[in-house]
Chain A
Amino acid sequence: MKKQLLAIGAALALGGAFAQQLEFVTTSLAPTFNDFFGPLVERANKQFGVAVKWTDLPQNAIQQRILAGVAAGNPPDAVQLNSTQILELAQQGALLPLNDLLDAATLKLYQPAALEAFTYEGKLYGLPDYASTRIVAFNTDILKKAGLDPSNPPRTIPGIIEWAKTIKDKTGIYGFAPLISNVDFLKAFQEAGLPIFDEKRKKAVFNSPAHVALLQQYIDLRKKDYFPEDVMRRGFTAAYELYTAGKLGIIIIGPQFMPRLEKDNNAVWKVTTVAPHPIGAGQVVQASTFAYAVPKGVRDPKRAAQLAAWLTNDENQLAFSKRTGTTFPTTVKAASDPFFRAGGNTVNDQARLMASRTMRNGKDLTVPVPNAAELNKAFKDNVEAAIFGQKTAKQALDDIVKVWNANL
């Protein structure tokens, strides 16, 4: 009891009604970035005049934890999530719209395209924090064994696929691991310039012959074992583990993983070269963007929104992306910093430079739809059924379109 009284006294001394702890949550950034978030928390303490707590959660656990916090009436004040997660949580009524909590001047600081990724039915549910696009990394040892020239890498996705087949045929090692698990094929369609909806956005149209042909290409690759089945099950994690073990020739990867590769397997890192992600007919490349959202039920919504805005301001975004060396800020000012256009000698520097070039076409390609969790599940289940030979490409895409159109 004495301890509790002391705590109340300390809170009053810090400044009245606002003298309560604030908490923000990040996604899978600890412990790698403990050195960044420690000082950030200290500055936040001063900025807000209260104790600010930082919690980091694994990506696969964060949505459930936020929902549990909302249900229990004690959610964190700001939560960093990707666009799919924010859309799903917003539709579940777990997030507060930020439009009324922040002034227009604050929102003008962010790149419009980045804000768009977190806007659903006219309401903004996340303040963008950082973006990350993809590059292509090559294990030059494996390329040489396959008789391929590392100095002249392919510049198109079909070119990468041809190299991947050559690698597997010549060495027995998997050539590549395409990112097509979950709903990633929706992004592949957009990158290839294939539409998701009709012009009025009333009907899904991704069952045209062109869409079917693109999916069929990957069905054929899987059938001939040109990529491992774990890719469908564990996505990028499986691809990264294979590449790190020197068992994958080419990987499509976020540049932020290059410093991690340097530590996880220095020998593989040393023989890695990088190239920009090919730009297809869609003239866009997926750029995953994370943003801070404010859960429903926070003690002080305006205060929580201010915390989210402070965490994502120019200064903090710039500092974070400089620390990672491979991600990009989403505020107008920070994104124009020359740091992100500078090259360097290491593969990590090159990765940032390649990503910077790709970022010109970068866009978060998450498709916002009503009832997103269920519609995305229907998409995932049917694409898997096609890849694993349970349905034809046409049947799978037809089935998804039926579900989507009944629910749009």
Chain B
Amino acid sequence: MSKNISILIVDDEESVRDSLYNWFIEDGYRVECAGNAKEALSIIESREFDIVLADIKMPGMDGLEMHRRIKAQNKETIVIVMTAFASVDTAVQALKDGAYDYITKPFDPDDLSHLVRNASKQITLKAENEALRNKMNELENVEDIVGKSEGMLKVLKEVKSVAQSNSSVIITGESGTGKELIARAIHFNSPRRYFPLVSVHCGALTESLLESELFGHEKGAFTGAMYNRKGRFEMADGGTIFLDEIATISSKTQVELLRVLESKSFMRVGGNKEISSDFRVICATNKDLKKMVENGTFREDLFYRLNVVNINIPPLRDRVEDIPMLMNHFIIKYCTAMSRDMVTIEPAALKRLEEFEFPGNVRELENMIERAIVIGNGKEIRLADLPMGKDIIYSSVESLDDLEKKYILQILNKYDWNITRSAKALKVDRVTLYNKIKKYDLNASKS
């Protein structure tokens, strides 16, 4: 550990500098010395040090002033001040200015070792903490949201700009487009990221359950309420609450939600104490809320309160160029999770995926890839491994010739271009099949 820590010793006495230098170099630290504050500051300008061990009484600029300047340059530097003339005033002043510790010369060898070892530990822990935080942020940002299409880049840009604000957000998009993922990205890129992100699936709960879930309840509030329970708004204090399927909430809950959003305070079900919570709201829906407002099924005031920013995620069929990238992402995800070798995808299967409409969007693609890895041959995802591989009916309008061509190709691929078996499956003779292959200019490489 100590090998990476650097120490600058600042003392006007050569014997002190040399002794300390020798002491720390034997412990494996990187050590440099300066004879006065000016020299020390100029060294620090060119090289960074983790720990500065500085004498207080020095000719010219004293250790306390030097300490202030070091802190102004880099407040992460740990400064330990030392003096031969112990005084409470200087010690207090040094500590007030942010010194890590204060020691009086001469010190016990064990005290010095402990002091520097503890400071080193703090530095190492800080670095580890920072690295882990960065890793956590990277995980949220990079690994899960996949896509380079224009539509997705626009969404990511919006996420980035909205994350820094505190505004309410409504994420819209068809089912399976990844609304919750976008909500997570907003939260984990916001200043609230070190506080909880609490998700509530409004559609999965009845009106009374949702109320108790959101606001919590007091013991005895209703049959079965045996204990006090914190609600989701309370749990999201400092962080973000994500209300999925917001369009499904009843008009009564809409009124209560509006009140909570306006006052940021509420009472638990069966309680009489006002509870305050500082949360940000992100909602998601696959319904057209504006239309619901026009129909009178969603409160207009609540809609405007929630719809400060609207992020619309395009359906997968409108960003076909993201399919290969998403597919690779899911292949890596599931092959890793199942401890299998990475699989490839045969061109025909990829083509079919790119042509498919994906009414279930990314979730459907993900399920398809997972299924294909489970049932596949462990080497590549074949057309036959995909659920729509067997389904010739396309939602897009195609000519009879196109359908025939695709179906013949599908059968040929299925039987590895064995003409006899393919002809048998198609219930035609071999000559007819050869004629069709010629007519449609089919060959194995084109598949």
- The finding on whether chains A and B are genuine partners in a shared complex, rather than unrelated, reads no
Taking beta carbons and an 8 Å cutoff, which residues of A are in contact with B?
none
